[in-house]
Amino acid sequence: MNPAAALLVLVLLVALTTVLGLAWRRRQGRVTTVFDSADTVTAAQLGLPASEAPQDFGREATLLQFSTEFCARCPGTSVLLGQVADARTGVRHVDVDLTHRADLARRFNVLQTPTTLVLDGAGRVRARVGGVPTRSALHAHLDDLVRTNGDAR
């Protein structure tokens, strides 16, 4: 291969990698709404002790965070989700460590940590966030969720 062709291939690879990286970064922290989810999460699936499970799920919504011991962004995400849950009545934050629970990672299709699932009051998955969510996006989604649940009652 001549030097000009090699340089062209190198420039194209760098450009492609940059575009893919920017696309991936843009999707981080975005709240993706899940419509008509039949997927219901229970305390038993998460391995929560029966004595803790009922009070760990919120009446209106639950912010279910999947973390690992080695995740650098998980502690900050846990603080953020805890603050969002504390600011709203009927909303709880539950943090599940996947370090030794590959079965849960497969079950809930967790490809990165932190991953957060927003559950409604019945435990159905209503939204998913890969990466660190933004406070405003969480509040907006919880407002929509409460409004939707209120209309259904």
E-strand ranges in 17-140 read 31-33, 61-67, 91-97, 115-120, 125-130
Please report the beta strands in the chain, taking only residues with DSSP state E, as ranges in sequence order.
31-33, 61-67, 91-97, 115-120, 125-130
Amino acid at 116: T
**pLDDT tens sequence for the chain (153 residues):** 788 888 888 888 998 888 887 776 666 667 776 766 667 787 778 877 665 554 668 889 999 999 999 999 999 999 999 999 999 999 999 999 999 888 989 988 898 899 999 998 888 889 898 889 989 889 988 988 877 766 554
Nearest to 126 by CA among 79, 91, 88: 91
**Residue appearing with tokens 């649940």:** 149
pTM greater than 0.85 (yes/no): no
Residue type, 118: V
Structure tokens at 120: 């409604």
Q: Would you state the pLDDT for residue 145?
A: 82
The β-bridge partners of 62 are 92, 119
